[in-house]
Chain A
Amino acid sequence: MLRVEDLQTTSVEFSAGLIAKFDDVVSRYPEGKQKSALLPILHLVQAEFGWVSPNAMEKVADYLSIQHVEVFEVATFYTMYLLKPQGKYFLEVCRTGPCCLVGAEKIMDYIEQKLGVKEGEVTADGLFSWRGVECLAACGFGPVLQISPEYTFYENLTPEKVDKLVADLTAQAKN
C-alpha cells in the first residue's frame, strides 16, 4: 500500500532520453488526449528505475499536465506497477488453474526454498525477489514465469530449469 510518508522519501530525475521516449508515446494520440500515454509511460519509468515511486508518479503527472491523483489511482490499480523496489531480477510465476494442473505450486515452493526468501521479499544480495501472479496466457507451456524488466519468458519449468536460471542470472549480474 502507498503511504503518505513515502511521498517524501524518494527523489527521481527523468533524463532527456527518457523524456524523448515519453514524447514519442504522446505523439500516438489525438491533441489533448495525452493522458492515454499514462500506462506506457509508467512502464518506461519502471524499466528505468525498477519500480514506480510516488515521486516519479508526481513527475509523470506534471509531465502529462494531469492531477497527481490520476497517476496514483492508475499505478495502484494495475498489478504490473511495482510500488516498492524489488530484486534486480523479479520472478513472476503464474499461479492460476491450468499452470497448477502441471505443477506450478511445486515450482513456487521450490523457488522460495532456492532463493531463501518468501513471496515479495528481496534476497540479501538484492538480486532476486519473486511473487505468484495470475494467468500469463501461456497455459499450454506451464509452469511458466516471467522476469521483469524485460519480461523474458520461461516455459515448462522444472526445478533443474530454475537452478540454471538462477545460476545464469547470478553470473550475468556479476559481469
Chain B
Amino acid sequence: MGRKLLLEHINVPGINTFDVYRSKGGYAAVEKALKTLTPDEVVEEVKKSGLRGRGGAGFPTGMKWSFLAKPEGVARYLVCNADESEPGTFKDRYLMTYIPHLLIEGMIVASFALGAKTSYIYVRGEMMPQIRILERAIAEAKAKGFLGKNILGTGYDLELYVQPGGGAYICGEETALLESLEGKRGNPRIKPPFPAIAGLYGCPTVVNNVESIAAVVPIINEGGEEYAKIGIGRSTGTKLISAGGNVAKPGVYEIELGLPVEDFLYSPEYCGGIANGKRLKAVVAGGSSVPILPANLFLKTIAGDGRLMSYESLSEGGFTSGTMMGSGGFIAFDEDQCIVRNTWNFARFYHHESCGQCSPCREGTGWMEKVLHRLEYGHGKMSDMDLLVDVSKKIEGNTICPLGDAAAWPVASAIRHFRDEFEWHVTNGAEATTRNYGLAHYADPLPKPEPAPAAV
C-alpha cells in the first residue's frame, strides 16, 4: 500500500466543502507558508522536493519557478493549466471534482511563492461542472479569509479566478493557453521569450498543471526533503495515474513513483489486470502522445528488467524500445484491439486539434489521417508504412509547439512495433475489415493469474 499525499482523504464524505477539508488538516500549508516562510523559502522547498511537472513534460517545477523574472513594478501571474485534454488522462478532472480545495490551497501557496496578486485557473470549457465546483470552493475560501485582501492577517493579497476554455486541445500548451486567456485563438507563441519572462499580458508568468500545484501542499506540509524520500531517483513523490482502456478497474490511482508496472497493472489494489479475463496486447503509458509499446516491451525492458512506473524506467530504451511517463494517461489494449484502427483514431484527433499555424503539422496530420484511414479500410499499399514514417519525421521537430511531435510519435511507434499488423491490413484488406489481427507475438508473457477463490 503506497502513501497517498493527494488523495488520502478523497473518500471522506463532504471533503469537497471547506469545513470538512479544513478538519482534515486542509489549508495548513497556507498557514505555514504565509506565516512562517518567505516566498523564496517556499520555492526552495519545492526545489528540494524534486517535483517534476505533472502535465506531461516533466520539467522540475521548482526550477521553473526560479526562472520567473521579477522586475520592479510589473505584475506577475500564476496560471494553473486545467485544460486537461490528452487522450487517456482524466486525473485533473477527478481531483477538481472531488477535492477542489486541494487545488485552491496549492494555488494560494504557489501564488505567494511567486509574488502573484492575481491568479487564474484555466479549465477546459467542457468541464463546466468542475468550473462551478471550483467557483464555489473559491467563494468558500474567500469567506473564510484564505483569499482576498490581507490573507490571515499577513498582508498578502490574492484574487483567484476560474477561466473557461473553448474546447481546444492545443490550449494545453502553455503559450497557447496564455493566448486563449487573453481572448485570442490558441496559437502557440514562438519561444523565447518564455512565459517566465513574458507571459500573460507580457508579464512574467508561471503556468503549472493542476496536479503539480496540488503537490505543493504536501511538499510544504512535510518539507521538500521528506517528499523527495518518496519515489525513486529523480522521480520523486507520488503521481496520479489515470487508468483506462481495457483494464479491469479503470480509475484514478495515486502511486508512489517507482512502483513496478506489473504491480500497477495486475494488483487488485490498482488496475486489477485486464478486463474480462483477456490478455494484454499493448500499452500507451502516458497519454496518447507517447509511443505505444507492445505488452512484452512495456512490462520488461530489452535488457529483461521489469519496468517501473517512473520517468526514467518508462523511457529506458529511448524511442526504440521505451516510451514516456507523459501525463500519466495509462491506456491498456486487450487482445481484441486493432492497432491500425487506434492509430488512425489518434491521427484523426491530432489532425482535428492542430491549430493550423505551422504547415508541417497542419498538412502532415491530415495526410497521416488519410493514409491510416485507407489502411484501416483495406485500401492501403505496402509503401504506406514508409510513407507514414516519412511524414511523421517531417513533422517532428519542425513545429513551434510540441503538438507536432505528439502527433508524430504515436504513428511512428505503432509502425515500429506493429509493422506486421499494418502489412496484414494491406495483404488481407478485405479480411481486415471483418476481424482483428489478434495478439501475435506482442502478448504479455505472464501466465494468466489464478482465478480468485470464491468468497466464503
Question: Is the pairing of A and B real?
Answer: yes
List 22 contacting pairs A-B, 8 Å CB cutoff, sorted by A: A28-B163, A39-B164, A39-B165, A78-B165, A79-B168, A80-B167, A81-B166, A98-B87, A101-B342, A133-B167, A134-B87, A134-B169, A134-B352, A137-B85, A137-B89, A137-B93, A137-B124, A139-B88, A139-B250, A139-B331, A140-B251, A141-B90
Stretch at the interface among A83-91, A145-153, A166-174: A145-153
Q: Are B87 and A97 in touch, CB under 8 angstroms?
A: yes
Residues on B with C-beta less than 8 A from A64 are 183
Tell me if B237 is interfacial: C-beta within 8 Å of chain A. no
Residues on A with C-beta less than 8 A from B183 are 35-39, 64, 66, 70, 74
7 residue pairs, one from A and one from B, having the closest CB atoms:
A78-B166, A140-B250, A80-B167, A38-B183, A139-B244, A35-B183, A151-B128
Tell me if B333 is interfacial: C-beta within 8 Å of chain A. yes
User: How many of A's residues come within 8 Å of B, CB to CB?
Assistant: 44
Q: Are B181 and A100 in touch, CB under 8 angstroms?
A: no
Interface 0/1 of A101-121, CB less than 8 Å to B? 110000000000000000000
Known: A135-B288, A141-B90. 18 other contacts (CB 8 A): A28-B159, A28-B163, A36-B163, A37-B183, A38-B183, A40-B164, A73-B185, A77-B185, A79-B168, A92-B126, A96-B345, A134-B349, A137-B85, A139-B90, A140-B244, A140-B250, A146-B126, A151-B127
Residues on B with C-beta less than 8 A from A102 are 245-246
Tell me if A56 is interfacial: C-beta within 8 Å of chain B. no
Tell me if B412 is interfacial: C-beta within 8 Å of chain A. no
Assembly CA distance A60 to B3 (angstroms): 50
Assembly CA distance A136 to B342 (angstroms): 17
Tell me if B315 is interfacial: C-beta within 8 Å of chain A. no
Tell me if A161 is interfacial: C-beta within 8 Å of chain B. no
Q: Are B126 and A80 in touch, CB under 8 angstroms?
A: yes
User: How many of B's residues come within 8 Å of A, CB to CB?
Assistant: 57
Tell me if B243 is interfacial: C-beta within 8 Å of chain A. yes
Q: Spell out A's residues near B (CB within 8 Å).
A: 28, 30, 33, 35-40, 42-43, 64, 66, 70, 73-74, 77-81, 92, 95-98, 100-102, 133-142, 146, 150-153
Residue A36 contacts which of B166, B167, B182, B252 (CB distance < 8 angstroms)?
A: B182
Answer whether A142 and B345 are a contact pair too, CB < 8 Å, given A36-B181, A36-B183, A77-B166: no
Q: Are B252 and A150 in touch, CB under 8 angstroms?
A: no
Q: Which of B334-380 contact A (CB under 8 A)?
A: 334, 337, 341-342, 345-346, 349, 352-353, 355
Residue A140 contacts which of B90, B127, B164 (CB distance < 8 angstroms)?
A: B90
Q: Are A97 and B345 in touch, CB under 8 angstroms?
A: yes
Q: Are A101 and B125 in touch, CB under 8 angstroms?
A: no
Answer whether A43 and B164 are a contact pair too, CB < 8 Å, given A74-B185, A96-B87, A141-B250: yes
Residues on A with C-beta less than 8 A from B129 are 151-153
Q: Are B92 and A137 in touch, CB under 8 angstroms?
A: yes
Tell me if B184 is interfacial: C-beta within 8 Å of chain A. yes
Cβ distance A69 to chain B, nearest Cβ, rounded Å: 11
Q: Are A39 and B163 in touch, CB under 8 angstroms?
A: yes
Find the B residue at minimum CB distance from A94. Answer: B87
Q: Which of B154-187 contact A (CB under 8 A)?
A: 159, 161, 163-169, 180-186
Cβ distance B272 to chain A, nearest Cβ, rounded Å: 13
Tell me if B211 is interfacial: C-beta within 8 Å of chain A. no
Cβ distance A38 to chain B, nearest Cβ, rounded Å: 4
